[in-house]
Structure 1
Amino acid sequence: MLYSIFLLAVGLIVLVSGGEFLVRGASSIALRLRISPLVVGLTIVAFGTSAPELFISVQSALSGSPDLAMGNVVGSNICNLALVLGFTAVIFPVPVQKDSLSIDWPMTIGSSILLFLLVQDYLISPVEGAVFVLILAVYTTLIIVKSRRENHKGKEILEEADLAEQPSKNIWLDVLFIVLGTLGLAFGSDWFVTGAKSLALSFGVSERVIGVTVLALGTSLPELVTASVAAFRKATDIAIGNLMGSNIFNILSILGITSIIQPIAVNQQIVSQDMLWMLAITVLIFPMMLIKRKVSRIEGGILLAVYGYYIYLVVQ
């Protein structure tokens, strides 16, 4: 069991590091090709930060563990809106921007409902995966067009990811980052999934439980750390938008791309239990966002309690 935990921990560290390297290298080369910081922020950085979850889901599906793939995505979405948002709000109330109410939340609940409807046959087919990717492409395009007209959201994402708006001075360093990042994601996902499967066997629990708890929490740690640091600095302005954006990417890009590569069989419990929790928590945060346009400390505490109760039900 100790070896499984070690493999899980090392895999997570390599995964997160690989994602960081990939984002840095790819964003620098994109800027070198004179792609605007706005587009880089809204596409390469957004997709790159979801790369660990993507590699884990693909690895899980290909290795015959679809419950890990689905559990990781659904569990991460629950974790983002209950644990991460709740913990952030407890530290410092999170203000809600207009776009979060008019664009991010409708897209989050819409993609969640679409996923729930499509998995009623307990399978995500390549055609359904292609639909997810197409919707994501249209959504990203519309966001870029809107951001060009109104603000510099892409630059904000670059700043939050601690990335420059100009390319690095050495293109070979960028290439090295991309190579190291890709290798880190490949090996890290393999170790992480292997450790998770071994852990499930050690504890005698299902892969679905490991997916919605251990894998979900592990892949949401970067968001938790980033949001917590922002809260301590009292700079939580785009926290909700980023978390909902992550949820949208999790469903549309990760499940979309994974199911195109390998159809995903869906556990009945994930459909009848975990997805309902995901939908319920997404609905729950809407009145919290709407009232006074902020998520208060009390509401953050409620979200943490909801997440705690959900985990209790899963592991009991």
Structure 2
Amino acid sequence: MLILLWGGLFVLTLVTLIVAADFFIKASERIGLAMGISPFIVGVTLIAVGTSLPELVTSIIAVFKGGATSGIVPGNVIGSNITNMALVLAIVGIMGKEIRLEFDVMRVDLPMMVGSAFLLLLCLIDGHFSIWEGGLLLAGLALYLTYILALSREGKRNAMAMELEPEEREALPVFSWKDPLILLVSGVVIYFSAEYNVRAIIELATILNIGQEVIALSAVALGTSLPELIVSIVAVRVGNAEMAIGNILGSNIFNIFAVMGIPRLFGEILVPPSILSFSLPAMIVVSILTLFVLQDKRLTRWEGWALLLVYGLFLINLFSGEVAASAA
């Protein structure tokens, strides 16, 4: 009975968290545009923040709770990145048959994604995550934000950042008192959803006798990757699979730099042994696999199926390893 109660609360708070984050981002976008901020700057900044907002808030709450609960943070980041690469990218490949990329992913996006994965490995390999290592990731975040504000995936984004024509400015949203209210209410809902989501994770881990990081690596990662999955499916259907792939790469980079770096400012982050022995190496392997898959600027259907198989193997090994550890 308890497992149904906490399982239901986990699903409910996760869905509420995702929906509230969507309202928060859209209200922020309308406020930014109404204030005259460049639509380009508003767009790229909110895409970077918005795709990782559920993971970020959940991780900050976990750090505030302290102790073993902070181990949710690396599980959240690593699980989300593996899910993005091995599940979301797989579905994009399967649905898109054969996708050809116009932008050069080998120029910055892919190397930065793989580089950020190895940087996280270096930060966590000793089983500790210091404040200085958190600062290093935040420096990487600053570098990445500078990049997405300065370049497009085809080259310079200067053309997109040009001043709007008068008639285009008239089409921008007019400031409404509803938007700050939506921003405030959705922010409160995000906080309490994350709070009770973390509490549900703790209770489920206790009932099932598994590590909290295992739930973070699987269920939380899958749930918080749903926005990327939905956006990617829609993008493929309208013939814009390139955008989906770009968002996946950007989300993974932002996860490592921001979702690991920012929560470290609020307290210690535990690095569970299972993260070092399996999940982190698995993320490195999947990152390298993604590099090889996309380096020719193509994503085929069979490559999508191969990535989906990798995701299945990851989940099987994750839970079989946890069952073996519990039995021992």
TM-score, normalised relative to structure 2: 0.88
Query: Which residue identity does 1:297 align to in structure 2?
Result: R
Change (3 A) 1:285 1:45: closer
Contact between 2:93 and 2:303, CA under 8 Å: does it hold in 1? yes
Change (3 A) 1:307 1:151: farther
Instruction: Tell me the alpha carbon deviations over residues 10-48 of structure 1, each in whole angstroms, 9 at most, x when there is no partner.
Output: 111211122111111211222222221111111133213
Counterparts of 1:99-110 in structure 2, within 5 Å, are 99-110=104-115
Please name the residue that 1:81 is paired with.
85
SS at match of 1:94: strand
Residue 105 of structure 1 deviates from its aligned partner by 0.6
Change (3 A) 1:154 1:62: farther
Change (3 A) 1:154 1:72: farther
Contiguous gaps of at least 5 residues in structure 2: 163-168, 321-328
Please name the residue that 1:161 is paired with.
none
Please name the residue that 1:160 is paired with.
none
Please name the residue that 1:24 is paired with.
26
Please name the residue that 2:231 is paired with.
226
% identical equivalent positions: 33
2:94 to 90, 95, 98: 90
User: 2: CA distance between counterparts of 1:108 and 1:149?
Assistant: 20
Contiguous gaps of at least 5 residues in structure 1: 156-163
**Structure 2 residue 300 is the aligned partner of structure 1 residue 296:** yes
User: 2: CA distance between counterparts of 1:170 and 1:215?
Assistant: 35
Counterparts of 1:150-299 in structure 2, within 5 Å, are 150=157, 167-291=172-296, 293-299=297-303
User: 1: CA distance between counterparts of 2:150 and 2:238?
Assistant: 31
User: 1: CA distance between counterparts of 2:229 and 2:99?
Assistant: 14
User: 1: CA distance between counterparts of 2:226 and 2:135?
Assistant: 29
From the CA coordinates, give the structure whose radius of gyration is larger. Answer: 2
Q: What is the count of residue pairs matched by the alignment?
A: 307
Change (3 A) 1:311 1:152: farther
SS at match of 2:258: helix
**Structure 2 residue 71 is the aligned partner of structure 1 residue 67:** yes
Q: CA RMSD in A?
A: 2.1
User: 2: CA distance between counterparts of 1:40 and 1:50?
Assistant: 16
Contact between 1:90 and 1:301, CA under 8 Å: does it hold in 2? yes
User: 2: CA distance between counterparts of 1:243 and 1:154?
Assistant: 23
Change (3 A) 1:112 1:153: farther
Greater shift after overlay, 306-315 or 182-191? 182-191
Query: Which residue identity does 1:212 align to in structure 2?
Result: L
**Structure 2 residue 156 is the aligned partner of structure 1 residue 149:** yes
User: 2: CA distance between counterparts of 1:283 and 1:26?
Assistant: 35
Instruction: Tell me the alpha carbon deviations over residues 49-74 of structure 1, each in whole angstroms, 9 at most, x when there is no partner.
Output: 31111011111122131221111110
Contact between 2:118 and 2:284, CA under 8 Å: does it hold in 1? yes
Change (3 A) 1:213 1:153: farther
User: 2: CA distance between counterparts of 1:80 and 1:165?
Assistant: 38
Residue 166 of structure 1 deviates from its aligned partner by 5.8
Contact between 1:126 and 1:261, CA under 8 Å: does it hold in 2? no
Query: Which residue identity does 1:306 align to in structure 2?
Result: V
Change (3 A) 1:7 1:90: same
Larger fraction in helix = 1
Contact between 2:231 and 2:244, CA under 8 Å: does it hold in 1? no
User: 1: CA distance between counterparts of 2:243 and 2:137?
Assistant: 25
User: 1: CA distance between counterparts of 2:177 and 2:12?
Assistant: 27
SS at match of 2:156: helix
Counterparts of 1:30-41 in structure 2, within 5 Å, are 30-41=32-43
TM-score, normalised relative to structure 1: 0.91
Instruction: Tell me the alpha carbon deviations over residues 202-258 of structure 1, each in whole angstroms, 9 at most, x when there is no partner.
Output: 222111211111111111111112212222333212111110100111110111100
Contact between 1:26 and 1:178, CA under 8 Å: does it hold in 2? yes
